[in-house]
Chain A
Amino acid sequence: METFVQLVVNGLGKGAVFALLALGFVVIFKATEVVNFAHGSLVLFGGYLVVATRETLGWAGAVVVGIVGAGLLALLVERLLLSRSKLADPFSLALLTIGVDVIITEEIVRRLGVSLPFIGDAWDAQPIQAGGVTLFRTHLVALVVATVLITLFFIAFRYSNWGIAMRAQAENKEAAALVGIRSARVTATAWLVAGLLAGVAVLFIATQDFSGAGLSRGTHSIALAAFPAAILGGLDSTAGAIVGGIVVGLVDALSTHYVSFAFSKSAVFLVMLLVLVIRPSGLFGTRETTRV
């Protein structure tokens, strides 16, 4: 029982970070119907900025630079590349993001050289014992930050002008444009928000508690591992991103022990396939209906 509880705690903690990552995919997909495969490189870029500026600015200052930098890079990618291909369909743009991803990732991995810097200074490897259960501080902080950010996102999405514009655009792009919604602004903001989320997520990923490794190519792979979380929850659903993240975290933790470590990697994808067979749009995704 003790092992089961510990595994559930581990899984929930990791799930919070997967939810943050999945939300990054969802925000962009909701606004533009583009799957952003460059999300992993945005994560890596944010982390790299923290490493590069930590000595001069201190950790807190570097964290701000990292988050803002990742947001701005995402904005730049959208403004310079995607916004110029307005007529391209979302699949072509998704392929374009793969290209962007490769370029940014390879350059950062090259710059990192042999170093594997950990960047969760304020919370990493400081576990808390509570009644026979170990709570990893990184997981706890991630859970709080994810809850706050996701709540803020929900509020903005429901009540702010941007949120309403984005929902309108997601519903019907042409109709939204006809009523004066500036599509470019909505799209650019979505990319900026996704970039900021990537910058936040990396602070929990490149830690001993979460990934066991510092900033490296592995960080990028973990960011992409959140993709099943987004698909599972429904690519256009914010609530789905949260549930998807937690499901991925739990499935990973429990299958590692109760089946095998090797199986745990495919277990997440098996669950995703199972969900998609039953609900092709994911757990909370919008069902596509076609009028005949």
Chain B
Amino acid sequence: MKRILALACASALVLAGCGTKGGGSDSGGEGAGGVQTDVGVTDSEITLGVMTDQTGPFKNLSTGITHGNELWVKDVNAAGGICDRQLKLRIVDHGYKADTAKTLYPQIEPNVLGLVQLVGSPVTAALSGDLESDEMTTTPASWSSELLSNPYLMVVGTTYDVEMIDGLSYLQEEGMISDGDTVGHIYIDGEYGANGLRGARYYAEQHDLKLREVKITSSDNDLTNVVTGLRGQGVKAILLTTTPTQTGSVAAANKALGLNVPILGNNPTFDPLLHQSPAANALDKLYVVASSVPFSADIDKAREVARKYEEAGFTEPPNAGVPYGYAVAEVWGTVLRKACENKDLTRAGVHKALQQTTSAETGDLVAELDFSQPGAPATRQVYVAQPDASVEGGMKYVKPLFESEDAKGYKAPHQQ
């Protein structure tokens, strides 16, 4: 009898442990101001999640984005909050590891309304199903066009494939490459790299470029032998969909080996800390493509964010992540206000509000966004920047926002 009782108790415990996750809108209720609420919202607070990389290969960019998010939260709270509620961020570090993120997600999920930051293509891919089933509106700090199939993911900016197409057309326009040339592309294994490569392959097809592809992982930091090989293949340019550390290695080898070809990188490939690395004097051939502004952009809103960053006393050197993090949070602000107007701050309510938001004001921190075409990037405009140690944020514009003809004709993987 005792044995049966013990077995019954054990079964009950196991079943309790295996219970379904919270989330969704099934636990909703009416809160202060007659607003419907469910997860992550109380009568006085709205909690948003930040799943970031504080210890992995994108820790500097991610820290910049997080500080951008924090600056916005501070501003909004000082102005009285949203829907009479103060905003709060719950920050966790997954170190750019999908398995760690998988473990952290169930801990953060029952406490947040949505994710204002989710860093990393592999992490976003791993959590995509959970985000959809939990109706968790999320802004990935990852710009793969493959993500656009998930309606809960709001990609602010253009995507890696489009960045590459626009960037290559810039190199060609400037006479750095020509039709028929050989071009090397070093890319990280995974969605980030694959999406950058997709753009490069499309452009190579249109312009008869011979693409030499080299797949690496995010932890391969010495690329001297790879660049030695590309030199032997006579490349006229090197494309990068890599981490900033890897960019430093390629730039240093490009110079040391006397190759000296232009290097074109997707937006996460640069970090101002490269100016303090031994690769600093080898960055003159690097061109970075992105659709959000550099930290020191000559735009009112960017200057305002830069001033606030300084006043906040953050110790980390600023980067393009700061204005981007602020801009993304601004988009969130617009969505939350809309949800508040609709008297529905549940997850489903936030998603509905997002669908009703056709454009969000970011003070030009990111290119003009249009979310109305399902599966298509919200913009195809990019700017081209080059490293410049003399400006704060370490990058200067060399070409203002533009959209190439090749990018206009490109069809993203989930574009309808």
Decide whether A and B are members of one complex: yes
> A residues near B, CB below 8 A?
2-3, 6-7, 10, 109, 114, 116, 118, 120, 124-125, 127, 129, 134, 136, 207-214, 218, 221, 252-253, 256-257, 260-262, 264
* A212: chain B residues within 8 A (beta carbon): 221-224, 245-246, 248-249, 252
Partner of B221, one of A211, A253, A257: A211
Does B220 count as interface, using CB distance less than 8 angstroms? Answer: yes
Partner of A221, one of B219, B231, B246: B219
B29 to chain A minimum Cβ distance, whole angstroms, is: 41
Are A208 and B249 in contact, with the CB atoms below 8 A? yes
Does B47 count as interface, using CB distance less than 8 angstroms? Answer: no
* B252: chain A residues within 8 A (beta carbon): 125, 208-209, 212
Are A127 and B256 in contact, with the CB atoms below 8 A? yes
Partner of B228, one of A114, A257, A260: A257
Q: What would be 23 A-B contacts, judged by CB atoms less than 8 Å apart?
A: A3-B231, A3-B232, A6-B228, A6-B231, A6-B257, A7-B228, A10-B225, A114-B59, A125-B252, A125-B278, A134-B257, A136-B224, A208-B249, A208-B279, A211-B221, A212-B224, A212-B246, A213-B221, A213-B245, A256-B226, A257-B226, A261-B216, A261-B220
Which residue of chain B has its CB nearest to the CB of A3?
A: B232
Within 8 A of A (CB), among B231-266: 231-232, 245-246, 248-249, 252, 256-258
B62 to chain A minimum Cβ distance, whole angstroms, is: 9
Partner of B256, one of A114, A136, A207, A214: A136
A211 to chain B minimum Cβ distance, whole angstroms, is: 5
Are B273 and A261 in contact, with the CB atoms below 8 A? no
In angstroms, Cα B278 to Cα A120, docked, is 9
In angstroms, Cα B246 to Cα A3, docked, is 21
Partner of B273, one of A7, A116, A136: A116
Are A261 and B219 in contact, with the CB atoms below 8 A? no
Are B225 and A214 in contact, with the CB atoms below 8 A? no
B64 to chain A minimum Cβ distance, whole angstroms, is: 10
* A253: chain B residues within 8 A (beta carbon): 225, 228
Are B221 and A10 in contact, with the CB atoms below 8 A? no
* B54: chain A residues within 8 A (beta carbon): 114
Q: Mark B116-130, 1 if CB is under 8 A from A, else 0.
A: 000000000000000
Are A208 and B228 in contact, with the CB atoms below 8 A? no
Are A256 and B225 in contact, with the CB atoms below 8 A? yes
Does B277 count as interface, using CB distance less than 8 angstroms? Answer: yes
Which residue of chain A has its CB nearest to the CB of B216?
A: A261
Within 8 A of A (CB), among B180-235: 189, 214-216, 219-226, 228-229, 231-232
Tell whether A114 pairs with B63 under 8 Å between CB atoms, given A125-B256, A211-B222, A212-B224: yes
Q: Nearest 10 CB-CB pairs, A to B?
A: A212-B249, A3-B232, A125-B278, A257-B229, A213-B221, A208-B278, A212-B221, A212-B222, A127-B256, A256-B225
Contacts beyond the supplied A2-B232, A7-B225, A261-B215: 16 A-B pairs with Cβ under 8 Å: A3-B229, A6-B257, A116-B277, A118-B278, A124-B278, A125-B256, A134-B257, A209-B252, A210-B222, A212-B222, A212-B223, A212-B246, A218-B221, A257-B225, A261-B220, A261-B226
* B316: chain A residues within 8 A (beta carbon): 114
Bin the interface of chain B by size: 35 or more
Which residue of chain A has its CB nearest to the CB of B60?
A: A114
A155 to chain B minimum Cβ distance, whole angstroms, is: 33
A139 to chain B minimum Cβ distance, whole angstroms, is: 10
In angstroms, Cα B81 to Cα A117, docked, is 40
In angstroms, Cα B221 to Cα A207, docked, is 11
Which residue of chain A has its CB nearest to the CB of B249?
A: A212
* A2: chain B residues within 8 A (beta carbon): 232
In angstroms, Cα B316 to Cα A10, docked, is 35
A9 to chain B minimum Cβ distance, whole angstroms, is: 9
In angstroms, Cα B214 to Cα A262, docked, is 9
Does B55 count as interface, using CB distance less than 8 angstroms? Answer: yes
In angstroms, Cα B278 to Cα A127, docked, is 11
* B225: chain A residues within 8 A (beta carbon): 7, 10, 252-253, 256-257, 261, 264
B171 to chain A minimum Cβ distance, whole angstroms, is: 24
In angstroms, Cα B276 to Cα A125, docked, is 12
* B214: chain A residues within 8 A (beta carbon): 261
Which residue of chain A has its CB nearest to the CB of B189?
A: A262
In angstroms, Cα B103 to Cα A288, docked, is 47
In angstroms, Cα B126 to Cα A288, docked, is 49
* A7: chain B residues within 8 A (beta carbon): 225, 228-229
* B279: chain A residues within 8 A (beta carbon): 125, 208
In angstroms, Cα B257 to Cα A7, docked, is 11
In angstroms, Cα B215 to Cα A262, docked, is 7
Which residue of chain B has its CB nearest to the CB of A6?
A: B228
* A114: chain B residues within 8 A (beta carbon): 54, 59-60, 63, 316
In angstroms, Cα B331 to Cα A43, docked, is 46
In angstroms, Cα B215 to Cα A204, docked, is 26
Tell whether A10 pairs with B224 under 8 Å between CB atoms, given A207-B278, A262-B215: yes
Which residue of chain B has its CB nearest to the CB of A207?
A: B278
In angstroms, Cα B272 to Cα A114, docked, is 13
Within 8 A of A (CB), among B265-285: 273, 277-279, 281-282
The winner among B229, B249, B273 for most chain A CB atoms within 10 A is B229
Which residue of chain B has its CB nearest to the CB of A118?
A: B278
In angstroms, Cα B231 to Cα A218, docked, is 26
Tell whether A256 pairs with B229 under 8 Å between CB atoms, given A118-B277, A211-B221, A218-B221: yes
Which residue of chain A has its CB nearest to the CB of B245?
A: A213
In angstroms, Cα B225 to Cα A264, docked, is 10
* B215: chain A residues within 8 A (beta carbon): 260-262
* A118: chain B residues within 8 A (beta carbon): 277-278
B309 to chain A minimum Cβ distance, whole angstroms, is: 16
In angstroms, Cα B231 to Cα A6, docked, is 11
